[in-house]
Amino acid sequence: MSRGYWIIVVAFGLIVSPYLGQAQQHSDQTNREADQESDQAYKLPFTIGVDVVEKEAATKARERHEAEAREREKRDLVAQEGMNAATKEINAATQAMAAYAYWSTAFVGIGTALLFLTLYLTHRANQGAHSAVKVTREIGEAQVRAYVEIDDIKTSYEQRSGERAAIRSFVNWINTGQSPTRNLVWAIDHHLGLLPDNFAFVMSETATHGTSTIGAGRTSYDVSHLMDRTGLDEFDKERLPITLFGYVDYDDVFPDTKRHRTEFCVELARKGVAVENSTCSKHNGADDGCFRQPTT
């Protein structure tokens, strides 16, 4: 196309475009007015109530669901009430068990204390019974055992041919018990003058020793002690006494008992041709009252 043709087309478009815009606006306004009239044509001056009509199956289904919901609520409520009641019962049972456990523990403690008290009293009763048996046995043994003591002492001059008269003392032991002695040993010695206060009851080389057995209630007559003449002139002149002393050690017939001992001490004084005895103020005793322990 020629250049002149394009110029004519453009000029024509510029002239026509205003008229096309007005026509489009008029057309849009006409359409809006028509729509408004259409809306006013269908609008009624009053309201009509509408009931929604459901189908029978849907209605039954809805009612069934509602009934099931109400039943579930009832069951839930009953379950909750049951849970509450069960909780209360559990709490009550727990408290009862706690009280039972407390009292059970208390009674067990009391029972244990009573048991220990019973054991203690039983132990004391056994000790008392054992002590009573021991005392009874000791009393029985004391009543039956042998008791050896001095029955009599006789001292006199013994004439010897070609020699001055000697002095001999006869010591008679008596068993006052109800059983014989066992393993009896004896010793007799003399001392010119009185024994010193610190005398240790030790026998000298001139002491006489021996063994014997003395039956129940029997007396021994074979025990004597001969004094040599050394230093006896003072006795003959009645200036000094002679102290005669000795002991006897023995067992009784009961096993596992202590060995027994009896000690004696007498003072001899010459009265003319006779010799008199008098008991010393010390060194006389039996068992625990003796100065020395028994020999084994």
CATH number of the domain where residue 278 is located: 2.60.40.10
Structural domain harbouring 247: 148-289
Residue 25 lies in a domain: no
For 174-228, the DSSP string reads: EE-SSS--EEEEEEEEEEESPPPTT------TT-EEEEE---TT-B----EEEEP
Average pLDDT over residues 172-189: 93
Instruction: Give, as one character, the DSSP assignment of residue 295.
Output: P
Whether 193 and 261 share a structural domain? yes
Looking at the structure of the chain, the number of domains it has is 2
The rounded distance, in Å, linking the Cα atoms of 291 and 282 is: 9
- 3-state SS record for 101-115: HHHHHHHHHHHHHHH
pLDDT of residue 157: 84
What pLDDT digit, counting tens, does each position of 191-220 carry? 988 888 888 888 989 899 999 999 999 998
Residue 238 lies in a domain: yes
> Last residue of some domain: 83, 111, 144?
144
What pLDDT digit, counting tens, does each position of 112-134 carry? 999 989 999 999 889 888 888 88
Whether 273 and 191 share a structural domain? yes
Whether 211 and 278 share a structural domain? yes
CB 242 within 8 A of CB 228: no
User: Does residue 22 surpass a pLDDT of 80?
Assistant: no
Q: How far is CA 14 from the centre of its chain?
A: 130
Task: Copy the structure tokens of residue 146.
Answer: 């042998």
pLDDT of residue 78: 82
Whether 135 and 266 share a structural domain? no
pTM for the full model?
0.57
CA distances from 169 to 154, 193, 194, 205, 272 (A): 6, 16, 17, 17, 17
CB 285 within 8 A of CB 265: no
